[in-house]
Structure formats: structure tokens, C-alpha cells
Structure 1
Amino acid sequence: MLNIQKLDAFYGKKQVLFNIDLTLEDRTLGAVIGPNGAGKSSVLRAVFGMIPVRHGLIKFNDHDISQGTPLNCIKAGIAFVPQGARVFRDLTVGENLRMGGFTLANRELALRSEEVIEAFPILAQRKAQRAGALSGGERQMLAFGMALMLRPKLLLIDEPSIGLAPMMVSQVFDTIVSIRNKLGTSVLIVEQQAQQVLRIVDSVFVIRAGRLISHGPVERYRDSDVLRHVYLSEPEQEPTTQEESK
């Protein structure tokens, strides 16, 4: 579904991504992990057309979106949930959902709202409540719901655990699994809490200093010693499990 090849990306004159290769299959969950300041969020922003791509290729369902804009990406079927559960705090939950589907005709807008409410039962109980009165976890659910109003094929999620209590973090990640299972949406997550995200994803991409230093199926990284190794290893090194080293 998503194929990134030899990607270089910049903020102004400052290069933030170097030669990134990343592939995400249809209906799968992928995680981009790494230390603070590694360039994880920049990967999502480059895919969504928020920062310029100087070199390399980004393909989505075999279409080149390397020089696309956020609007182009939305039309192609990609949605982005930025850090901080950004919602319209002065609007109700229902009004926020309608804002997420603002391009839809009224009848379709109502159908999509009900579809999202069904996927997020907690929102049904809060439909007439202002978003600013929701808990942090509920606002994160609402941000997911807004992004899903246009039925994206790929959902990009940046640091969904920020500011949430540990119990709510687990609930948010369980919701991400439900998004894939119930709606068939592929998800690429940037997350600092590696152990939490490794519980739910299929594949892992480790970024450090703007470079991809390791990638593979999640089973490889659930061993804490392996994860420690990939955070400290040189870019050209690949981690090995105990079984692989025998």
C-alpha cells in the first residue's frame, strides 16, 4: 500500500530524513519508533505532503505522491492524526465529526457520523457534549473519529499516547487495532512508548538521527535486549534474536 524509497526530506535548508526506505502492506499496522528527535514524525509529515521531499519516491497504491499536498493525500485516501488530540474544543462531539467530513453531502455526512459513532461507543454517550469537556483519552478517540469520516485507506497517527494516563494509553492502542479490524484501515503510528505500540503492530521501523537503522516483523523487537541493541546500533547493522544468532 505505502512504498517509500530513498527518501530525503527537509525543513527549509535543514535535512531531517536521509535515504529512508519503508513499506507498509494493506490492512496492516506499522510503527515508527526511535529516540526523541530521531525524525519519526517527519516521516509521517513527508508522506502527508507537509514537508518537501527533495529526493526519493513515495508511492501510495502505486501512485506517486512524493510532491503531493495534504489535500491531494486526503483525496487519495490518507488521513493524518497529529500529536495532541487536536479537536475543536468549543464544538460538540457531533459537530466535530461533521467537521471531519465537511466535504460530504448532508445524507452521506449523517451516515458516516453514525458509522464512526458505532466504531467508538464512548463517543455515542458524549455526542452532544463539548469536546473541551472530554477527557484526554476521549479527545484522542474523537480525533481518530474525525480522521475516519472520509473512510481513509491509510491512517497516519503521531504520538497518540502523549499526555494520557497509562490505563487510557492501553485503551487508545486497543482502539487502533479495532480501526484496522473493523474498518480495514491500514495504520502507520509514530510512538515514543515502544513497549506499548509493539503489543499491537505487525511491523516496526526504527529511526535514529533521520535514518532508518532497522526494520522487520514486530516479533523481532519484543525482546528488550534486541530493542536496546537497535537503538544503540550503527545504521548499517541489523538486530538479531538469540534464535537467529545460533
Structure 2
Amino acid sequence: MSVAGINVLVEETRARQAAATAPLLAIRDVSTYYGSVAALRGVDLEVGEGEIVTLIGANGAGKSTLMMTIFGAPQARTGSVVYAGQDITRLPTHAIARLGLAQSPEGRRVFPRMSVFENLQMGASLHGGRHFAGDLERVCALFPRLKERLQQRAGTMSGGEQQMLAIGRALMSRPRLLLLDEPSLGLAPLVVKGIFDAIRDLNRQDGMTIFLVEQNAYHALKLAHRGYVLVNGRVTMSGTGRQLLDDPAVKSAYLEGGHGVAAGA
């Protein structure tokens, strides 16, 4: 083999190794604005393949804005969002969804006049319903309550059931990366436990990569491999879930009924 051919092989090997070690999602120096108001300021974070990564912070910190920025609405004004090695910063939302990302948004946002079954069909429409029967069985095994409610209008279900449906609808698109925005918001403690148990099962049994935005810092950090703290649009702390749970500043601001600002802001 020629020297040129060997060099090509070396470069291809290096590229494969870099792809294997690169994070599935990389957010680099992202700033997002609403008009002239900065909602995110130079945010940097990563989500590795097979991880659960959580983002905690107070109301108004910019958590949901970051979720929406990943999906391109609004788009980052500066910085980049890279998914599976591809820069998706300027892609429209529908194109991003086709790459293997799915989101269960804050407030559930199910289609209230449609049945549970029809909502799940909407989630599967991205792939033309080719795997619908198997995916429906999988979602119903994860959330047995949905199987009992398939013909019920989504708007008549409880908040916890609607949250299960929102997550199930996202799963029907067969995502490689699942974004969950405040899945425990407004739910009873027993229901919250069920939701977090389901998230854990998705990661451990299916190997699904999950990026979780959550106000319930204790549950989120206990579940997560790694976490970030967002304060006024900036990431101020990061570490493993256990490290952040044990950090005095995080305990004071988010785990002991406090509403202060974590260290580093």
C-alpha cells in the first residue's frame, strides 16, 4: 500500500475513534435571546451516549429555553448545538426530529380532543407507523395505565396519565436522544416516583440517552449520571449526580427548601 493510502487509513481510523468518544449532544457557548433579552449566556454542556444528564435550576433560569434551543425554536444567536457529530444549530425543528431526537415538553401538551391511541399514532407518524404495533406494546408495558385508556380522550385524563402519554408519544418516534422537560411538574409524589422509575428503566434496560430538565433536584440528581446547575442563563456548576447532591451550595439552594443561587454564579 502506498504512503498516501496508509495516511488515508490512519485519518479514517482517527475519525472513527473521535466519533466513538465524542458526546452525543454537545452545546458549545450557546446564547439565546428573546428580542434583546438574553435567556441563555454562553452555555456549555454535554450528554454522552447512554447517559442520563440532568439540568436543574430555579424558575426562570432558562432551562426550558435551552430545551427549545436544542430543537431550533428559538435558534441560538451564538454558539453551536451539535448532535451525533452534526451541527443542528440552524436546522428547522422538523428536520431535527428526523435525526432521532424527541421531546416531552413542559406542560405535557397532549392533543386533548384526541384519544390516547391517536396521540401515540401522532408520535409514530415520523416513521410512517412502520413499527407501530411493537412500539405501542413497548410503551404500554412501560406505562400500563395507557393500555387501559387507549380509547379515552387525552384531555379527560389525570395530570399523571397525561405525562405518561407525553413521554409515550415521544418514545413512539424511536428517539436516540430523549429530552424531558419538567416531567414531575404538578404531580403527586406517588406518580412522580412512577415517572422517575420509568425513566430509569428506559436508560438501564433500553440504553436510551436522556437529557432531563427538572425542578425536583433531589429526584433528578439521584437518577442522573451527571448534572449541571443553570443560574440566570449560565451554567454555574457541574459534576456527577452524587457530587451535586452532596454539594453544600446545591443543598442550600435546591434541596433544603431554599431558592438561593448556587455557588459560582
TM, length-normalised to structure 2: 0.83
Q: Partner letter of residue 71 of structure 1?
A: H
Q: Is the 8 A contact 2:183 2:195 kept in 1?
A: yes
Residue from 162, 165, 188 that aligns with 2:188? 165
User: Which residue of structure 2 aligns with residue 145 of structure 1?
Assistant: 168
Higher mean C-alpha displacement, 86-95 vs 102-111:
102-111
Check the 8 A contact 2:236/2:262 in 1, yes or no: no
| Matching residue within 201, 223, 226 for 1:178 | 201
Of 113-122 and 160-169, deviating more is 113-122
Per the alignment, residue 54 of structure 2 pairs with 31
Which position in structure 2 is the counterpart of 1:50?
A: 73
Report SS of the residue matched to 1:206. Answer: strand
Does the 8 A contact of 1:3 with 1:24 survive in 2? yes
Q: 1:88-237, aligned counterparts within 5 Å? A: 88-223=111-246, 225-228=248-251, 231-235=261-265
CA distance in structure 1 between the aligned counterparts of 2:252 and 2:153, rounded to whole angstroms: 45
The C-alpha deviation readout for 1:109-158, integer Å capped at 9, x for no partner, is 33322232233222112222222232211110110010011110111111
CA RMSD, aligned part only? Answer: 1.7
CA deviation profile, 1:21-68 (whole Å, cap 9, x unmatched): 101111111111111111111111111111121111111111111112
CA contact (8 A) 1:206 1:214 kept: yes
For structure 2, the residue ranges without an aligned partner over 5 or more in a row are 1-23, 254-260
Tell me the secondary structure at the aligned position of residue 51 of structure 1.
coil
Q: Secondary structure at the match of 2:80?
A: strand
User: Secondary structure at 1:36's aligned position in 2?
Assistant: coil
Distance 1:234 1:109 in 2: 47
2:98–2:126: 8 Å Cα contact kept in structure 1? no
Change (3 A) 1:69 1:107: closer
C-alpha distance in structure 2 between counterparts of 1:181 and 1:84, whole Å:
26
Quote how far apart the aligned CAs of 1:5 are.
1.0
Q: Report the 3-state secondary structure (helix = DSSP H, G, I; strand = E; otherwise coil) of the residue aligned with 1:232.
A: coil
Q: How many residues align?
A: 235
Counterpart of 1:97, as a letter, is L
Larger radius of gyration: 2
CA contact (8 A) 1:11 1:52 kept: no
* Residue segments in structure 1 that go unaligned for 5+ positions in a row: 236-246
Matches of 1:232 and 1:31, distance apart in 2: 16
Q: Shift of residue 162 of structure 1? A: 1.4
